[in-house]
Structure 1
């Protein structure tokens, strides 16, 4: 037995030659980003992950969150530009205008990190995120819900926890424009598609659990599809409803 182990060890049978999960994840997240932009992004994200001569490695969760946060932005820019140096201040502002609250702030922080690194490397001439400040975004005029929708929502809750979620949604949610209506329709379609399937177990539906603007594909300014189902899991539809109400 010992001889067998020695032989296997000698030929490298015990060496772990699997691709690290970070490499697999990074390749997946960089897919679809135009090569010129991808090179800058990959260099930046590897520096965050591995550290450098003057910087310590960041926590892996932070690295993942950084790239996940701006990937939709990079995909959008890749459809128009070949390199980060083509991105303007107006392009950055346009992306931020589609977000609210902490998501706008976080997105700006991540973009500043990316463009700051590219500027230090000399791959861009000017940092388009410079002197951009993110404040509270003004919301549209709140529109009332139809009585039928209110009655259906009240009838759907029975447990105290569900009533609390509904109360939060009632306080924070507002059908203020076509974007909100379209996002709500997408959420309802997701829940309807999974309701009663083998995926839900003892729960009513499969929830996205992060149905915010950063995980939404927009077509002509209107929500068209959800992406990044990393946190999707069985749950109550009110979980997604309350989250969307809070984030919007």
Structure 2
């Protein structure tokens, strides 16, 4: 059985004051039936790890460098994230791919660095609206998967997050059939990449909220969600966690 995962990506949001949301979230789910993960900005990572106390809430980074050390001003190594209290790191988010020109090879190198540091890599992929409308969505995501998952990836150290670029923060959500088609295709493609394909969790991301989470989680091979804006407050994220617990 794949344990469900509700992951929140705070992106470039949050200051020390917003850490109160961590207590509100852990109070609402003192003994969650699913894994919960929050990925705050690097400036809050250690503080959030401390704020969770003994709760099972997991903490992750939003990116890491492929190198372990070096002259890379402004970058963060996977070991540094681990040292600050992280257990996961997001790599290959569409905003990193588009704004920073990251390639599949870059993402694979970062995921490999995360694995070396003992972190779980949450590898993101997804098609643009133009690619979707051209009928290229499945080809795009399978190519990204093949190019972004490094050698040595296992079900224990890797999570896949499918986020159609055109649905992130737009309020637009693919149909359940479209989500199911992509997740099923990714599951099949994973079998060509690793022996443990059946154990890898595949998350859906893109305008997930409390009002649509239950129906999204009813789709086969959707093992949870990578949530953006709706993860910033416990009031918005908690219903998503509850929906996943009930899936």
Which protein has greater RCO, CA pairs closer than 8 Å, 6+ apart? 2
Structure with the bigger percentage of helix: 1
Shared topology, TM-score over 0.5? Answer: no
TM-score (normalizing by structure 1)? 0.25
TM-score (normalizing by structure 2)? 0.25
